[in-house]
Amino acid sequence: MNTHLKPGSAPISPVPMNHTAKPPPQEGPARPAEPGHFTADLVPHLVWVARPNGGLEYLNQRFREFVGRAIESLHGWGWREIVHPDDLPEVLKQWGRSLAIGSEGHAKVRLRRHDGVYRWHGVRAQSALTPDGAVAQWFGTCTDIHEHARAEEERRHRENRLSAQQAALLALGRDVLRSGDPADAVRRMTEATARALGVGRVSVWRHTTSRRAIHCFDLYEAHADRHTAGAALSADDYPKYFRALEESDVVAADDAPADARTHEFASNYLVPLGIGAMLDVPLRPFGRLEGVLCCEHLGSPRTWDRDEQVFAMAVGNLIALAQERWERERAEDEVRAAHATYETAIKATGHVLYDWDVERGRIEWGGSFERTLGYREEEMPTELSAWVALVHPDDRTALDREIRRVTETGTPFQLEYRVRHRDGTYIVMDDTGHFVPAPNGRAKRMVGFVSDITNRKRLEEQVQQSRKMEAVGRLAGGVAHDFNNLLTVINGYTELAIGALPEGAPVRSMVDEVRRAGDRAADLTRQLLAFGRQQVLQPKIFDLNEVVGDLAGMFRRVIGEDIQLGVQTGAGPLRVKADPGQVEQVLMNLVVNARDAMPTGGNLTIETSTVMLSAKLAQDGSEVIPGRYVVLAVSDTGCGMPDEVRAHVFEPFFTTKEIGKGTGLGLATVYGIVKQSEGHIELETTVGQGTTFRVYLPGVPQTPDAREPEAAPDELPSGTETVLVVEDEPGVRAVAQMILQYLGYTVLVAANSTEATALARSGPPIDLLLTDVVMPRVGGRVVAEQLQRDTPNLKVVYMSGYTDDAVVRHGVEQERTDFLQKPFTPATLAHKVRSVLDRSA
């Protein structure tokens, strides 16, 4: 409280005084010189008289009793000793100002009573003037206003406290409730509460999940200005306190160690920490007890005023409100995160979600609609009619019929139909939905998803195509053996007959026609086996660029003058491992197909290159193994193919040509050879613009295999060695014997393994065994092993009219053995036998 002395105008002496009385001698006790001084002892105030210079010269009886000491020590300026040191500077300043101007003054000052207690007094002073206007004396009173001053001080203190509390609440309500950081917000709350209540410790505790304990989320210690956390209190150890939290809005323990509600904390918490009073407020977000705000006063007990309790409850409510907001935000974040996770998962599956309000006709979309259909969110149709407009015209009737059915019955919806992609193409969608029924049983809403099953449908078509080709292949393989045996006899004898007839003989031309028919029959058999992927291949490593270059001249003669041929080969040798003859067949078939697509002329381009294929092709439904591939591309500028033709182009016997103009095996043969060579074929075509076939063959780093020297066309290699022919088919056995004998060899023949073994033991030494692979009871592989036990260096040539897989199943791997595919010609047999005999062991 500031002490001050102010000038005034009204006399303040409660009794009449003689303004001309002389001051008593300073060496003796102060005595009143006039009767009025005796009256001063009767008033309930401290009355004093001072000289013009401010020194005291009289104190009434009440003043003397108040100080309880010899009043001589107060005479003059000795009165300063009883003024509170904090008030003295201001009193002297104001007293000096009053002395200087000679006017009335008043002040509030604390004076020390005889027991050492300072009490507030109101001091008033009035000057007595001489006739000429000079100050003769000062008369004054000191009125005890201690209780009033204390009440006023308490009032101001309460007002300041309330103001601080209100300011704190406003700040917390403005800042903390908007805070997105709960930990920071709670720290600010504990600090502000400690300042507003003037306590040493404020903490926020939260219930554990079990609700059998509370743990300290934040503790603020004002003296150290620090925050800590982590302590825990068990409900089993402090049952009365936890019960009080459940039953009360506030726990105001003025004397915490003695209060029944908090006494349980005394020995191990309150006393060691010096806590004298506690003001705790239960925290009830959403109306349930979740924690407590604890305000702890250090030192002696403290009475918690009602406004302090109200403030603490207000802070507790703010914390509870903040917790509610934080929990809602956390729940909303979790919902958003769950929705995002769900949306991401749905997008990862490629599904497009929809929610169709049947009554309003509105559709809401979710999932991977942009990736699946190409439309952005704002482009997706929101009306059923707009969605139907995207459906392929041929599928709308089925869709409309299915929608009517399920809306009337409320049964699940499932339909496959085509939808227009944003790029204009149509994709096949699988639409599956479930209805939410209205009270009348009719559909109210339908929730479901559509999935892009275009690749699945393509795979299903490929599987159907593969099964169809496999069936035809099995049929072809089943008759291949008999066909090949018959053709071996027909073509073999025909060749021998032509060689025996003189030039110009009339019958020779007839026999030559028979040979050509046999060759065409053999080609047809090979084609059947090729598209069925059952042909016996003889893979070699060769440079694809060389094959293209060697055939370019022939292609120009095949395509005619109206078509311009362009050949663009990739840099460096492009090595593949395949059957060169079959690759030539693939290239020839593709060139002929391109020629037929350009009846009035155009451009035909053959290109070779290399490419690295990734796993994406496998994901798109192909059977390609990732890696380096050599690409053979044949492009034309012809008529192109419509979708209905493209879908069947690799099927056997499918043709768009006139009857008698094509077999329908050309592209089927290409497909079979490529697949059997572990390759892949792609087709791009646009009606009116042309077609491109791309053949992918696995690239290899090895150098090409050496080519076998070719003999002159009319010169058959001969020999004098002994050859054992083992063949169960009499016609094949006889023609092979005749051809080999014609070439000069000594030929032994056997129909089975028993005869072969007997001949090997009783006859001349055998130089070469020519054996069929598949024979009744004992196959050619076993016959060879039996004979090689006695003749380890015996050379073997296997022959067969069966398909590749049948030969392999009988233990013969063409790549590691000398193999002769039926039907064979005398020249083929002659070259194979001679090359094997000439090879060093």
In words, the CATH class of domain 347-452 is alpha beta
Percent of the chain whose predicted confidence (pLDDT) is above 70: 83
**How confident is residue 14, by pLDDT bands cut at 50, 70 and 90?**
very low
Q: For residues 654 and 118, give the distance between their C-alpha atoms in angstroms, rounded to a whole number.
A: 123
**How confident is residue 24, by pLDDT bands cut at 50, 70 and 90?**
very low
Task: Check if the beta carbon of residue 484 is closer than 8 Å to that of residue 801.
Answer: yes
Q: Within the chain, which residue ranges are assigned CATH 3.30.565.10?
A: 540-698
Q: What is the pLDDT of residue 806?
A: 47
pLDDT one-digit tens code per residue, 731-771: 999 999 999 999 999 999 999 999 999 999 998 999 999 99
Residue-wise over 393-412: b if at least 16 C-beta within 10 A, else e? eebeeebeebbeebbeebee
Q: What is the pLDDT of residue 227?
A: 96
Nearest to 751 by CA among 772, 735, 769, 727: 727
Collapse the DSSP code of 443 into the 3-class scheme (helix H, G, I; strand E, B; otherwise coil) and give the result. Answer: strand
Q: What angle do CA 245, 195, 85 make, to 5 degrees?
A: 130
Would the CA dihedral through 174, 180, 182, 183 be positive or negative? negative
Average pLDDT over residues 218-245: 93
**How confident is residue 152, by pLDDT bands cut at 50, 70 and 90?**
confident
Per-residue tokens: 76? 């003059």
Task: Say whether domain 540-698 belongs to CATH 3.30.565.10.
Answer: yes
Residue-wise over 440-473: b if at least 16 C-beta within 10 A, else e? eeebbbbebbbbbbbeebeeeeeeebeeebeebb
Average pLDDT over residues 187-214: 90
Q: What is the pLDDT of residue 250?
A: 95
Question: What predicted TM-score, i.e. pTM, was given to this entire model?
Answer: 0.41
Q: What is the pLDDT of residue 707?
A: 52
Average pLDDT over residues 204-219: 90
**For strand 213-221 and strand 201-207, is the pairing parallel, antiparallel, or unpaired?**
antiparallel
Q: CB-based contacts of 541: which residues, under 8 Å, 6+ apart?
A: 575, 576, 577, 700, 702, 703, 704, 705
Q: What is the pLDDT of residue 83?
A: 92
Q: To the nearest whole number, what is the mean pLDDT of the chain?
A: 82
382/803: higher pLDDT: 382
Fill in the DSSP letter of residue 80.
G
Q: Output the CATH code of domain 5-144.
A: 3.30.450.20
722-838 CATH, one of 2.60.300.12, 3.30.2130.30, 1.10.1740.10, 3.40.50.2300? 3.40.50.2300
294/627: higher pLDDT: 294
* Cα dihedral 352, 353, 359, 362 in deg (nearest 10): -60
Q: For residues 103 and 119, give the distance between their C-alpha atoms in angstroms, rounded to a whole number.
A: 26
803, pLDDT greater than 80: no
Q: How large is the C-alpha radius of gyration of the chain? A: 59
Q: CB-based contacts of 138: which residues, under 8 Å, 6+ apart?
A: 49, 50, 51, 52, 54, 125, 126, 127, 128
Q: What is the pLDDT of residue 3?
A: 36
Q: What is the pLDDT of residue 419?
A: 93
Would the CA dihedral through 799, 801, 802, 805 be positive or negative? positive
**For strand 362-367 and strand 226-228, is the pairing parallel, antiparallel, or unpaired?**
unpaired
Percent of the chain whose predicted confidence (pLDDT) is above 90: 32
Average pLDDT over residues 285-304: 93
Average pLDDT over residues 728-733: 91
Q: For residues 266 and 277, give the distance between their C-alpha atoms in angstroms, rounded to a whole number.
A: 11
Fill in the DSSP letter of residue 391.
B
Task: Check if the beta carbon of residue 584 is closer than 8 Å to that of residue 547.
Answer: yes
pLDDT one-digit tens code per residue, 365-418: 888 788 888 998 888 998 988 999 999 999 999 999 998 888 888 788 899 999
Fill in the DSSP letter of residue 91.
H
Strand partners, 409: none
Q: For residues 197 and 292, give the distance between their C-alpha atoms in angstroms, rounded to a whole number.
A: 17
298, pLDDT greater than 90: yes
Q: For residues 485 and 733, give the distance between their C-alpha atoms in angstroms, rounded to a whole number.
A: 10
Q: What is the pLDDT of residue 159?
A: 79
Phi then psi dihedrals of residue 232, to 5 deg: -140, 145
Count the alpha carbons within 13 Å of 224 in the hemisphere toward its beta carbon: 8
Average pLDDT over residues 46-53: 88
Q: For residues 468 and 460, give the distance between their C-alpha atoms in angstroms, rounded to a whole number.
A: 12
Q: Within the chain, which residue ranges are assigned CATH 3.40.50.2300?
A: 722-838
Q: What is the pLDDT of residue 1?
A: 36
Q: For residues 313 and 291, give the distance between their C-alpha atoms in angstroms, rounded to a whole number.
A: 13
Fill in the DSSP letter of residue 173.
I
**Cβ of 580: how many Cβ atoms within 10 Å?**
21
Q: For residues 203 and 191, give the distance between their C-alpha atoms in angstroms, rounded to a whole number.
A: 9
**Strands annotated E in 614-755:** 627-636, 680-686, 690-698, 722-726, 746-750
Q: Give the DSSP letter string of 498-544.
A: HHHSPTT-HHHHHHHHHHHHHHHHHHHHHHHHHHTT------EEEEH
524, pLDDT greater than 90: no
Strand partners, 279: 252, 295
Q: Within the chain, which residue ranges are assigned CATH 3.30.450.40?
A: 156-326
Query: What's the start-to-end Cα distance of the chain, in Å?
Result: 127
Count the alpha carbons within 13 Å of 342 in the hemisphere toward its beta carbon: 8
Per-residue tokens: 412? 């699940």
631/72: higher pLDDT: 631
Nearest to 241 by CA among 202, 201, 269: 269
SS (H, E, C) 392-438: CHHHHHHHHHHHHHHHHHCCCEEEEEEEECCCCCEEEEEEEEEEEEC
Task: Check if the beta carbon of residue 451 is closer than 8 Å to that of residue 430.
Answer: yes
692, pLDDT greater than 90: yes
Q: What is the pLDDT of residue 279?
A: 96
Task: Check if the beta carbon of residue 508 is closer than 8 Å to that of residue 501.
Answer: yes
**Strands annotated E in 301-407:** 351-357, 362-367
Highest mean pLDDT among 97-111, 294-308, 475-489, 496-510: 294-308
475, pLDDT greater than 50: yes
805/585: higher pLDDT: 585
Q: What is the pLDDT of residue 132?
A: 83
254/451: higher pLDDT: 254
Per-residue tokens: 620? 């798109």
**How confident is residue 816, by pLDDT bands cut at 50, 70 and 90?**
low
Least confident of 46-50, 388-392, 486-490: 486-490
Angle, to 10 degrees, between the axis of helix 454-500 and the axis of helix 666-676? 100
Q: What is the pLDDT of residue 572?
A: 79
258, pLDDT greater than 90: yes
**Cβ of 38: how many Cβ atoms within 10 Å?**
13
Q: For residues 802 and 474, give the distance between their C-alpha atoms in angstroms, rounded to a whole number.
A: 11
Highest mean pLDDT among 15-24, 330-339, 718-727: 718-727
Residue 596, classified by CB atoms within 10 Å of its CB into exposed (0-12), middle (13-18) or buried (19+), is: middle
Task: Check if the beta carbon of residue 374 is closer than 8 Å to that of residue 421.
Answer: yes
pLDDT one-digit tens code per residue, 765-777: 999 999 998 888 8
268, pLDDT greater than 50: yes
pLDDT one-digit tens code per residue, 530-583: 545 455 566 788 999 998 988 888 888 888 888 999 999 888 789 998 888 788
H or E segment to which residue 7 belongs: strand 5-8
Q: Output the CATH code of domain 156-326.
A: 3.30.450.40
Per-residue tokens: 708? 């076998």
481, pLDDT greater than 90: no
Residue located via tokens 């409900």: 235
Task: Check if the beta carbon of residue 334 is closer than 8 Å to that of residue 358.
Answer: no
Q: What is the pLDDT of residue 12?
A: 34
Q: Within the chain, which residue ranges are assigned CATH 3.30.450.20?
A: 5-144, 347-452
pLDDT one-digit tens code per residue, 600-644: 889 999 999 999 887 555 445 456 778 889 999 999 999 988 887
Strand partners, 283: 291
Q: What is the pLDDT of residue 216?
A: 94
Q: What is the pLDDT of residue 271?
A: 94
Q: For residues 392 and 401, give the distance between their C-alpha atoms in angstroms, rounded to a whole number.
A: 15
Q: Is the peptide bond before 272 cis (omega within 30 degrees of 0)?
A: no
pLDDT one-digit tens code per residue, 327-358: 888 888 888 887 777 667 666 666 888 888 88
H or E segment to which residue 735 belongs: helix 730-742
Residue-wise over 723-738: b if at least 16 C-beta within 10 A, else e? bbbbbbbeebbbbbbe
Q: What is the pLDDT of residue 204?
A: 95
Least confident of 13-27, 59-73, 414-428, 811-825: 13-27
**How confident is residue 646, by pLDDT bands cut at 50, 70 and 90?**
confident
The amino acid that residue 38 corresponds to is F
Q: For residues 127 and 8, give the distance between their C-alpha atoms in angstroms, rounded to a whole number.
A: 11
668, pLDDT greater than 70: yes
Q: Output the CATH code of domain 458-531.
A: 1.10.287.130
Residue located via tokens 């593949």: 576
Per-residue tokens: 3? 């002490």
Q: Within the chain, which residue ranges are assigned CATH 1.10.287.130?
A: 458-531
**For strand 768-772 and strand 722-726, is the pairing parallel, antiparallel, or unpaired?**
parallel
